Amino acid sequence: MSAAEIECRNVWKIYGERAQEALQAVVAQGLSKEEVRDRFGCVLGVRDASFSVNQGEIFCIMGLSGSGKSTLVRHINRLIEPTAGEIHVAGARVDTMGEEDLRRLRAETIGMVFQHMALWPHRTLGENVAFGLEVRGLGPAERHRAAETALDSMGLSGWIDHYPDQLSGGMQQRVGLARALAANPEILLMDEPFSALDPLIRRQLQDQFLELAKVVRKTTVFITHDLDEAIRMGDHIAIMNDGEIVQIGTPEEIVTNPKDDYVAEFVKGISRVGLVRAETIMTPLDGRNATEKTVTPESELGEIIDRFMDDQDDVTVLDPAVGAVGRITIRDALRALRG
Amino acid sequence: MDPLNPFDQEWVPVGTWAELALQWVVDNFRFIFQAVKVPFDIVLTALEEALTGAPDLLILAIIVLIAWQVGGRRLGLIAGGCMLAIGLMGAWVESMTTLAIVLTCVVFCSLIGIPLGIVAAKHDRFWAVLRPLLDLMQTIPSFVYLVPIVMLFSIGNVSGVIVTFIYALPPVVRLTNLGIRQVRPDMVEAARAFGASHRQTLYKVELPLAMPTIMAGVNQTIMMALSMVVVSSMISVTGLGQMVLRGIGRLDMGLATVGGLGIVFLAIVIDRISQSFGASARDRGHKKWYETGPVGALRSLLATR
């Protein structure tokens, strides 16, 4: 188990003049979002959120608009001040950090990608990408080199002196990613980075990012409103509703074992074929004989279904290290497919 | 007293009070107002001496080159034509005086108005106080404050600049405020997210993005300053306005026409040049300023040799 790179403990965000008062009342009496609004004139943005992100993993926060996911992610680099709670990033405590330390953390440790790219139109791509280095006071030669490297890694070599409005949306977001990577930060925060793109480009960028993530292994917090995307990208997923984290788990856990009706409603339409593994749906062998057809515990549902193509005999789950550990009937497979 | 027509009589002597108040200010604080005049005086004198002292053709050439640089060859021709017309009409010296007054006013309006606008954009409370003041400055007819200005600052070109300053300040403040507020929030947020301080965010992101709007404000300020030229000539400000005023006084149609046309031509030149300053880099096809106009032509000439 690798160390937690980002950790939020009991983070609350309440907007409004009487935030502290409202916080106490909410904690003491467990008021709902509407009650907070009516009694204190405050808006409850994030309610008691705790999560941790391991080094090198992609952590997706998924929720509909207004669920507080963008608010929550902005606590990690303190673009938004928490009303209460602790935030630890890369071994430092962010919520009590001084202004100068905070600026260094933002410029050197955390890169951020925005939904609508937020590239500055008056700056060339090179100047956009190297902005974080510029505000840290690095010289022009160093900035140029870093910008070139970052743009190259996103397949944008030779565009360094162009301006954002000369690029298509997909290319612009690649510049956004290059900008986040330019200072070689340990952490990436991605706020719905691909939502504004059309589906084909989105798919391409998702793949490109996954490829990149395999190589650079940045700790990534990835915000999305699209569960499909969260499942594709995430090692872990947190589902948010009304400012609260409803469930945290691996994609498989979320899909096979939704915690409540809200999550269940979301995962209903999700394809299980590439998600559910043999281990999850098998029943113990309990003395029965192993069959000819075998899969490994890590095999995905799609592969298991392939085994039933010719006949409907049970499939044995064979762990190469241990031997036969369980079996799956065609009913098990179909039930898993249905969800 | 006629009970049905009580208003035949003055009940509240506002006029007397105003007179007393002004007299009190003049008696006790005139030195402050005289001190305020000093920076205006320095800038105005310098500009006026430069513009009227230099050879006419040199000034003409400089104006044409500036116009060409910021607005292209066409604007250079327009500016040249207008200034030539002014010179041929015999209004050159007067137009230089007026230009000096307008430029002085723009310098001070920008120096004071742009920072005010920035602060107003950042602090809602300050803007709430400033806004009615600006409304007041724009709605009070300029004739009304001519009298107190003369009492406090005496007459002459410097007082003229101050009257014009009061009248022309609001647009640049308003549009700076608007421009900064209109910068897309995620652009500012991105700057903060990459570690920029408030000052860096302002200089590197907010001001450049607000610049077209701010320059529209400066342009408005210039136009309002020009529109004050005739009014301010009543407190014996010299220049084109005085030609018009004299023309009216003597029913000298010729003099008034020359002055009026001079103001129009000068307005066209200043308006076009200042508008071109506001055009964004995107409108100019992302060329650096030194790659176009006379400077660009000179550079390419030197490069080919």
The string of pLDDT tens digits covering residues B56-74 is 999 999 999 999 888 888 9
- Put simply, whether A166 touches B (Cβ < 8 Å) is yes
Whether B209 sits inside 8 A of A179 (CB atoms) is: no
For an interface test with B, which of A74, A117, A120, A191 has the most B Cβ atoms less than 10 Å from its Cβ?
Answer: A120
Q: At residue B29, does pLDDT exceed 90?
A: no
Side chain identity, residue B39: P
Residue B20, in any domain of the structure = no
The boundaries of the domain holding residue B167 are 40-278+292-304
Distance from CA of B179 to the nearest CA of A (A): 15
Count of structural domains, chain B: 1
Which pLDDT score is estimated for B191?
Answer: 92
Q: In a 3-state reduction of DSSP, which class is residue B90? A: coil
Give chain A positions within 8 Å (CB) of B192. 79, 106
Q: What is the mean pLDDT of residues B229-254?
A: 90
Cβ-Cβ pairs closer than 8 A, A with B, add up to 65
* pLDDT > 70? residue B284: no
**Contact call for B186 and A116, based on CB within 8 A:** yes
CB B105 within 8 A of CB B225: yes
Strand ranges across the sheet with A315-319: A283-284, A323-328, A315-319, A294-295
- For chain A, the structural domain boundaries read 54-82+90-267, 278-338
Note whether A118 contacts B: Cβ–Cβ < 8 A: yes
> Domain A54-82+90-267: what homologous superfamily?
P-loop containing nucleotide triphosphate hydrolases (3.40.50.300)
Looking at the complex, does the CB of residue A135 fall below 8 Å from at least one CB of chain B? yes
Question: Residue B12 falls within a domain, yes or no?
Answer: no
A208-to-A174, A247, A253 alpha-carbon distances in Å: 10, 28, 26
Structure-block tokens of residue A299:
């095999």
pLDDT digit string, tens, across residues B124-137? 999 999 999 999 88
Residue of A265 and B191 predicted with greater confidence: B191
Residue B305 has pLDDT above 70, yes or no: no
Task: Give the count of beta carbons closer than 10 Å to the beta carbon of residue B275.
Answer: 17
Q: What pLDDT digit, counting tens, does each position of A58-117 carry?
A: 999 988 888 888 899 999 989 998 988 889 988 888 888 888 999 988 888 899 999 888
- Judged by CB atoms closer than 8 Å, whether chains meet at A114 and B192 is answered as no
Query: Is B204 in Cβ contact with A163 (below 8 Å)?
Result: no
Query: What is the reported pLDDT for A64?
Result: 87
**Interface probe with A: pick from B184, B187, B194, B287, most Cβ of A within 10 Å:** B194
Report the pLDDT averaged over residues A276-296.
79
Instruction: Give φ, ψ of B239 to 5 degrees.
Output: 110, -160
Is residue B281 over pLDDT 70? no
Q: Is residue B105 part of a domain?
A: yes
Of B184, B196, B208, the CB nearest to A135: B196
Check A131 against B191: CB less than 8 A apart: yes
CB atoms within 10 A of CB A27: 14
pLDDT at B285: 64
What mean pLDDT, rounded, does chain B reach?
89
Dmax of chain A from CA atoms? 72
Contacts of A132 in chain B (CB under 8 A): 194-195
| Predicted confidence (pLDDT) at residue B20 exceeds the cutoff of 60 | yes
Tokens encoding A65: 């608009």
- Altogether, the residues listed in chain B come to a count of 305
Residue of A79, A10, A15, A18 whose CA lies nearest to A45: A15
Hey, are the CB atoms on B281 and A163 less than 8 Å from each other?
Answer: yes
Range from B1-10, B241-250, B260-269 carrying the lowest mean pLDDT: B1-10
Chain A residues whose beta carbon lies within 8 Å of the beta carbon of residue B194 = 106-107, 111-112, 131-132, 135, 179
pLDDT at B288: 72
Cβ of residue A136 closer than 8 Å to a chain B Cβ: yes
**Amino acid letter at B212?**
P
Nearest CA in chain B to A101: B195
Q: Which of B70, B72, B67 lies closest to B278 in space, CA to CA?
A: B70
Please check the confidence at residue B78 and state whether its pLDDT lies above 70: yes
Closest Cβ opposite residue B194 in set A99, A122, A132: A132
Give CATH superfamily name and number for A278-338: CBS-domain (3.10.580.10)
For the complex shown, is ipTM > 0.85?
A: no
Q: Please give the average per-residue pLDDT across A188-200, as a whole number.
A: 87
CATH number at residue B132: 1.10.3720.10
Nearest C-alpha in A relative to B186:
A118
Q: Which residues of A touch B196 (CB under 8 A)?
A: 103, 131, 135
Give the chain A residue nearest B196 (alpha carbons): A135
- With cut-offs at 50, 70 and 90, classify the pLDDT of residue A1: very low
Tokens 């691996």 belong to which residue?
Answer: A250
How confident is the model over A135-184, as pLDDT tens digits? 888 889 999 998 999 898 888 888 888 888 888 888 888 898 899 888 88
Kindly state whether residue B97 falls inside one of the protein's structural domains: yes
For residue B109, pLDDT beyond 90: yes
Q: How far apart are CA A42 and CA A40, in angstroms?
A: 5
Tens of pLDDT, residues A204-255: 888 888 888 888 888 999 999 888 888 888 889 999 988 888 899 888 888 8
